[in-house]
Amino acid sequence: MIRAFIQARLSSARFPGKVLAPLNGAPIIAQVISRVGQVVERNRIVVATSDKQSDDPLACYVEQLGICVYRGSLNDVFRRFQSCLEAYPCDWFFRVCADSPLLDSGILQRMLDYVEDPAIDLVTNVWPRTYPKGQSAEMIRSSRFAQIDPELLSAEEREHITKFYYNHGHEFRILNLESENSALAHQSFAVDTFEDLERLERVLRGGNFVYEDRAKYGTTS
- DSSP secondary structure, 115-182, as one string: TT-TT-SEEESBTTB-S-BTS--EEEEHHHHHHS-GGG--HHHHHSTTHHHHHTGGGS-EEEEEETTG
pLDDT at 220: 43
Rg (CA), the chain: 17
pLDDT at 219: 42
Domain boundaries defined on the chain: 2-219
At residue 17, what is the residue type? Answer: G
pLDDT band (50, 70, 90) for residue 204 = confident
Distance CA 13, CA 148 (A): 29
Mean pLDDT (the chain, rounded): 92
The mean-pLDDT minimum among 34-48, 148-162, 171-185 falls in 171-185
- DSSP secondary structure, 76-122, as one string: -HHHHHHHHHHHS--SEEEEEETT-TT--HHHHHHHGGGTT-TT-SE
Assessment of whether the complete model's pTM goes beyond 0.75: yes
Output the CA torsion 177→180→186→188 (10° steps): -70
List CB contacts of 217: < 8 A, sequence separation 6 or more: 175, 176, 177, 178
Contact 58, 76 (CB under 8 A): no
**pLDDT tens, residue by residue, 114-149:** 999 999 999 999 999 999 999 999 999 999 999 999
Query: Pick the residue with more confidence: 148 or 179?
Result: 148
Instruction: Tell the CATH superfamily of the 2-219 domain.
Output: Spore Coat Polysaccharide Biosynthesis Protein SpsA; Chain A (3.90.550.10)
Distance CA 73, CA 172 (A): 26
**pLDDT tens, residue by residue, 11-45:** 988 999 999 999 989 999 999 999 999 999 999 99
